[in-house]
Structure 1
Amino acid sequence: MDIVIKLSQFLLSLSLLIILHELGHFIPAKLFKTRVEKFYLFFDVKFSLLKKKIGETEYGIGWLPLGGYVKISGMIDESMDKEQMAQPQQPWEFRSKPAWQRLIIMLGGVTVNFILAFIIYIGMAFTYGETYIANSDLKDGLLIENPAMVKAGFKTGDKILAVDGSEIAKFDNEINMKIAMGKEILIERNGAQQTIKMPNDFIDQLSQYDKKSIVSIRMPFAIGAVAEESKNTALQPKDVLLSLNNQKVKYFDEAKTILENNKGKTIPAVVLRNQKETAVQLIVDKEGKLGVQLGGLDLSSLEKLGYYKVSTEKFSFIESIPVGIEKGKNQLVGYGKQLKMIFNPDTGAYKQVGGFAAIYNIFPNTWSWEVFWTITALLSIMLGVMNLLPIPALDGGHVMFLLYEMISGKKPSDKFLENAQMVGFVLLITLLVFANGNDIYKAIVGK
């Protein structure tokens, strides 16, 4: 069932993005009276799953879920229809339209992608608001267990004050990405500020520990369940450890250190149970464990226990607009930085380029509309940016040649465009093989 939910979200998001992207080409083409021969979700290599011709356009669903396309008459695209291009130009063809109209048609897809992302962020701000912990309320700093962060010079208890000169005011879902993309991190440790310069290959180092958060809030030692073989039957689910071996304990990382220093011993402890302090004796095994499963506490529970103050902002529809636009802008800039790092071999970020499996794995096993729209908005930005790359066969390649034509007044020959399209197609296949090859490699080595 988990796989069905995950796959459903993946296919729904992908289908939505593809259809809207292609509509971005389709609508201006129709407005400029350009014939659209095909409109397809997924590719119909050899055959299609569904198809129906309405007017001059065949609408269908292909069997190969690697994207989608619109086939516009008189345009050199992935169809490489040389027979049509050898015929005299017709007034309804793409190649017969003014350059500015062709430019609008080609930019339509990425324009829709960016508009969609901003609309989603505005809608999410209005629907869900924003929940966060003010950075100033993280009195005891953050939990830092990721070996890549430790190697860079961070320690648990550090407070992240700024990334590349930009103040961190809130602890939210974006902080990990900001740190990963950052070059200089201003922290506070033991009351003193210092700057940590991030290594060039930090992204590559992170990939070795991709299951560990870069930073996270420090959590109490809350009991989720007691293992049947555990000797600590005095513990109960929902207990929260307050002290171990007569030492006060506020966070799990503090308790972990005490337990490691008392392996094989029986030590006194105090737990918070049903809002009352209860004394118990605990047996620490030879590995420094208690034989319990940790209990995850949500933000509201942490707030009730007095750990953090959780802030929630609700926005009117009008207020949601600038909030959503700012969110979209930050995501767009952030993805631009990621691309820059990918194209810089020194960072090693290219090793983390993923294909369809990587995108599939972003989606959770449980259905959440908030998570679904968050991922879809990010994917929409990624699709828009990637399509703008000046690679022949991508929208950006077509735009590059159109801008050359508009500036120079010279239109590239059909033969040149055909050759460029073929080069671009080879490049895209190479990138596709590389990205999905990375997915396969990670699956094999377990990373």
Structure 2
Amino acid sequence: MELFIKLSQFLLSLSLLIILHELGHFIPAKLFKTRVEKFYLFFDVKFSLLKKKIGETEYGIGWLPLGGYVKISGMIDESMDKEQMALPPQPWEFRSKPAWQRLIIMLGGVTVNFILAFIIYIGMAFTYGDTYVAMQDMQDGLLIENPVLQKIGFQTGDKIIAIDGDKIVKFDNQINMKIVMGKEVLIERNGATQTLTMPADIVDQLTKEDKGHLVALRMPFVIGAVTPESPNSSLQPKDLILALNNQKIKYFDQAKTILEANKNKTISATVLRDHKEVPVSVAVNTDGKLGVQLGGLGMESLEQLGYYKVRKQEFGFLESIPVGIQKGKDQLVSYGKQLQMIFNPDTGAYKQVGGFKAIFDIFPSTWSWEIFWSLTALLSIMLGVMNLLPIPALDGGHVLFLLYEMVSGKKPSDKFLENAQMVGFVLLISLLLFANGNDIYKAIVGR
């Protein structure tokens, strides 16, 4: 069932993005009276799963879920229809239209992608608001156990004040990415500030360590479950450990240090159970653990216990518009920086480029409309940016040649465009093989 839920979200998001992207080409093409021969979700190599011709356009669903396309008459595209291009130009063909109309048709797909992302972010701001923990409310700082960050100079208890001069107001799921893409991180430790410099190959170092989150909220030590064979039957699910070996603790990372120092010993403990403090004895095993499963607390419970102050902002419809637009701009800038890192060999970020499995893996195994729309908006931005790359066979390649034509007044020959399309196609296949090859490699080596 979990696999089905992930697959359903993946296919729904992918289908939505493909259809809307292709509509971005289809609608201006029709407005400019350009014939569209095919409109397909997924590729129909040799055959299609479904197809129906309405008017001059065949609509269908292909069997190969690697994207989708619209086939516009008189255009040199992935179909490489040389026979059509050898005939005299017709008024309804793409090549017969003014350059400015062709430019609008080619930019339509990415324009829809960006507009869709902004609309989603506006809708999410209006529907869900913004729930977060303010950095200034973190009395005891963040949990930082990643060895790569520790080597740079980070420590548990640090607060992140600013990254590359941009003030960090709240802790959210973007902070790890901001740290990775940053060059200088201003932290506060014990009331004093200092600047830590991030290495250029931080992504490569993190990949080799593969230690999960960079920074996280410090969490209390909550018992999730006690197995029958556990020597600590005095503990119960939902117990919150307040002290170990006569030392008060607030967070799990503090408990780990005490347990490590008391391996193979029985020590005293105090737990919060049903709102009462209860003394118990616990046995620490040879690994410095209690042999129990960890539990967790929701943000509401953490707030009630005094760990964090959870802030909630709600927005009216008009208020949601600038909030959503800012969110979209932030994601667009963030993805642009990620691409810069990928194309810079010194960062090693290219090793983390993923294909369809990487996209599939980001969807959760439980259905959440909030997460679904958030990921769909992000993927829409990624699709838009990737299609704008000046690579022949992508929208950006067509746009590049059209801009050259508009500036110089000279249209590239059909032969040149055919050769460029073939080069672009080879580049795209190479990138596709590289990205999905990375997925296979990570699956084999376990990273």
Map of 1:222 onto structure 2: 222
Structure 1 position 297, deviation (Å): 1.3
1:413 corresponding residue in structure 2 = 413
In structure 1, the partner of 2:8 is 8
Once residues 255 and 139 of structure 1 are traced to their aligned partners in structure 2, the CA distance between those partners, rounded to angstroms, is 18
Secondary structure in 2 matching 1:400: helix
2:155 counterpart of 1:155:
yes
Amino acid at match of 2:70: V
Q: 1:198-250 CA deviation, whole Å, 9 max, x = no partner?
A: 01110112223445111100000000011221111110000001010111100
For residues 222 and 425 of structure 1, the distance between their equivalents in structure 2, rounded to whole angstroms, comes to 54
Match of 1:117 in 2: 117
Q: What is the CA–CA distance in structure 1 between the aligned matches of 2:206 and 2:335, rounded to whole Å?
A: 17
Q: Aligned to 1:208, what secondary structure does the other structure show?
A: helix
**What amino acid maps onto 1:152 in structure 2?**
I
Looking at structure 2, the residues matched to 372 and 209 of structure 1 have their Cα atoms a distance apart, in angstroms, of: 29
One-letter amino acid matched to 1:370: E
Corresponding position of 2:304:
304
Amino acid at match of 1:291: G
Q: For 2:396 and 2:254, how far apart are their aligned partners in 1?
A: 53
- For 2:442 and 2:151, locate their aligned partners in 1 and report how far apart those are by CA, in whole Å: 23
Q: Which residue of 2 aligns with 1:252?
A: 252
Residue 275 (structure 1) aligned with residue 275 (structure 2): yes
CA contact 1:6–1:365 (8 Å) conserved in 2 = yes
| 1:19 lines up with 2:11 in the alignment | no
What is the DSSP-based 3-state SS (H/G/I as helix, E as strand, rest coil) of the residue aligned with 1:74?
Answer: coil
SS in 2 for 1:6: helix
Structure 2 partner of 1:146: 146
1:425 aligns with 2:425: yes
SS at match of 1:291: coil
Equivalence for 2:91: 91
Deviations 1:281-334 (Å, cap 9, x if unpaired)? 111111111111110211111111110000011100000000000000000000
Distance apart, 1:139 and its partner CA: 0.9
Q: State the AA in 1 paired with 2:357.
A: A
After superposition, the C-alpha distances for 1:416-443 in whole angstroms (9 at most, x for unaligned) are 0000000000000000000000000000
CA distance in 1, matches of 2:445, 2:161: 36
Instruction: Tell me by how many angstroms 1:151 deviates.
Output: 2.1
Alpha-carbon distance in structure 2 between the residues aligned to 1:148 and 1:405 = 50
Alpha-carbon distance in 1 for matches of 2:112, 2:337: 22
**Equivalent residue number for residue 442 of structure 2:** 442
Note the 1:36-435 alignment, pairs <5 A: 36-210=36-210, 212-435=212-435
Residues 203/251 of structure 1: CA separation in 2 closer, same or farther (3 Å cut): same
With 328-337 and 152-161 compared, the bigger mean Cα shift is at 152-161
More displaced 10-residue stretch of structure 1: 345-354 or 173-182: 173-182
Give 1:384 shift: 0.1
Q: Tell me the distance in 2 between the aligned counterparts of 1:303 and 1:293.
A: 23
Say which SS state the counterpart of residue 24 (structure 2) adopts.
helix
Assess if the C-alpha contact under 8 Å between 1:75 and 1:94 holds in 2.
Answer: yes
Whichever residue aligns with residue 374 of structure 1, its letter is S
SS at structure 1 position matched to 2:111? helix
Q: 2:33 maps to what in 1?
A: 33
The root-mean-square deviation of aligned C-alpha atoms, in Å, is: 0.7
Q: Distance in 2 between the 1:334 and 1:210 partners? A: 22
Deviates more, 1:129-138 or 1:223-232: 223-232
The answer to whether the 8 Å contact 1:263/1:287 transfers is: yes
Equivalent residues, number: 447
Instruction: Say which is worse superposed, 324-333 or 282-291, in terms of deviation.
Output: 282-291
SS in structure 2 of the partner of residue 235 of structure 1: coil
The answer as to whether partners of 1:38 and 1:72 remain within 8 angstroms in 2 is: yes
> Offset of 1:148 from its aligned partner?
2.0
TM-score, length-scaled by structure 2: 0.99
- Distance in structure 2 (CA, Å) of the matches to 1:371 and 1:136: 26
Rate the CA distance shift 1:111–1:46 in 2: closer, same or farther, 3 A: same
Give the whole-Å Cα distance in 2 for the aligned partners of 1:288 and 1:14. 46
> Whole-Å Cα distance in 2 between the matches of residues 152 and 56 of structure 1?
62
- TM-score by length of structure 1 reads 0.99
Residues 135, 170 of structure 1: 8 Å contact kept = yes
Q: SS state of the match for residue 45, structure 2?
A: strand
One-letter amino acid of the structure 1 residue matched with residue 377 of structure 2: A
Deviation at 1:173, TM superposition (A): 1.4
Query: How far, CA to CA, are the matches of 2:222 and 2:347 in structure 1?
Result: 38
What amino acid is the match of 2:126? F
Q: 1:145·1:212 contact (CA, 8 Å) conserved in 2?
A: no
Deviations 1:7-29 (A, max 9, x none): 00000000000000000000000
Question: Using the alignment, how far apart are the partners of 2:303 and 2:416 within structure 1?
Answer: 64
| Offset at residue 176 of structure 1 (A) | 1.1
Amino acid at match of 2:108: G
Mapped to 1, the partners of 2:170 and 2:30 lie a distance apart of 46
- Classify the secondary structure of the residue corresponding to 1:160: strand
CA distance in structure 1 between the partners assigned to 2:175 and 2:211 by the alignment: 16
What are the superposed Cα offsets for residues 84-115 of structure 1, whole Å, 9 maximum, x if unpaired? 00000000000000000000000000000000
Supply the distance in 1 between the matched residues of 2:156 and 2:54 (Cα, whole angstroms): 63
